[in-house]
Amino acid sequence: MAKNDLIGGSLWEQYSNKVSERMNNPRHFGELTEADAQRLNGRLIIANEGAESCGDTVRLYWIVGNDDGVIKAAKFKSFGCGTAIASTDMMAEMCIGKTVAEATQITNLDVEMALRDNPDEAAVPPQKMHCSVMAYEVIKQAAALYNNVDVATLQEKDIVCECARVSLQTVEDAIRINDLTSVEQITDYTKAGAFCKSCIRPGGHEKREHYLVDILARVRGEMEQENNPAAPEEDEFAALSIVKKIKVIEAALDKYVRPALAGDGGGVELEDVTVTDDGTVQVHIKYQGACKGCAGSAAGTLTFVQKSLQGAVSDAIRVVVA
């Protein structure tokens, strides 16, 4: 079959030669039988998977060795586009020689990398990357059947990007840990949104439960609130643990005290927080920079720090210079 019989010429240029070859001549297309399983001293596993978004389906055949749990043979049948056929063919090949547990570690990104002609050029157009997800999912189905468990126990929860199999937790962690501020940064760190782009914002070819723009806005809002918590009511502050009191006081120092002192080359470090029997909250501080040895640090600066904390946090605060 000629290239242009399958896809328009310009789009076809975005497919690797390996994908083209396996579209036309898949190496592992077919089926395995109980007779094959007996011949190879193994167990026959047959798993089915379908993609609701495009109507593609695939059936995967494994023969898993009785003695070692190694996949001795793998074949597939597929009703779907050429990308799905090429991806499933490569996936089947990658399973052979692995244990079932090892096979479940194969991802659709691994399959795509194996289909590249060179490491720096994608094997398929970004909008077709989702077609390889079915190959990934059918492995999970086969492993669940082999282990006699519900496939849900092997699946990741709350997948945001189907193409790269990136979970909601991974995206949230990447934003928090790396202080990410844009969708482009999320993609750089996690690969989410790098392919078909349906997960970036509403309006893509597949409707998603989670979108990167919404996750970013929500997590950045949570981070802002965590870094600048609202001052609790007096009674609420008194009821906080020492650790939480310290967190609230640190936030108030960051917002109201340190910027003012930094303007004159000074600073303040929170050394400790203690509570006396009468409920007084003693905030022990140490001056930094120009505040050290400053004539005003014993009175004016101390008063400024104390009044700032009292106004922002609690009248019960008394500041003590360590």
Bridge partner list, 161: 166
Task: Give buried/exposed letters for 160-174 (b at 16+ CB in 10 A, else e).
Answer: bbbbbbbbbebbbeb
Cβ atoms of 195 and 126 within 8 Å: the answer is yes
DSSP state, residue 230: P
The structure tokens listed for 219 are 């997590």
Residues contacting 140, CB < 8 A, separation 6+: 104, 151, 154, 155
Bridge partner list, 319: 283
3-class DSSP assignment, residue 95: helix
DSSP β-ladder status, 266-275 and 281-289:
antiparallel
Instruction: Tell me if residue 161 is catalytic.
Output: no
The structure tokens listed for 267 are 């600073």
* Lookup result for tokens 């479940």: 104
The structure tokens listed for 250 are 């640190």
Q: Which of 81, 95, 131, 161 is catalytic?
A: 131
For 283, left (φ over 0), alpha (ψ -120 to 50), or beta? beta
3-class DSSP assignment, residue 222: helix
Bridge partner list, 48: 59
What's the residue count for the chain? Answer: 322
As a whole number of angstroms, the distance between CA 89 and CA 22 comes to 7
What residues are labeled active site?
A: 54, 131
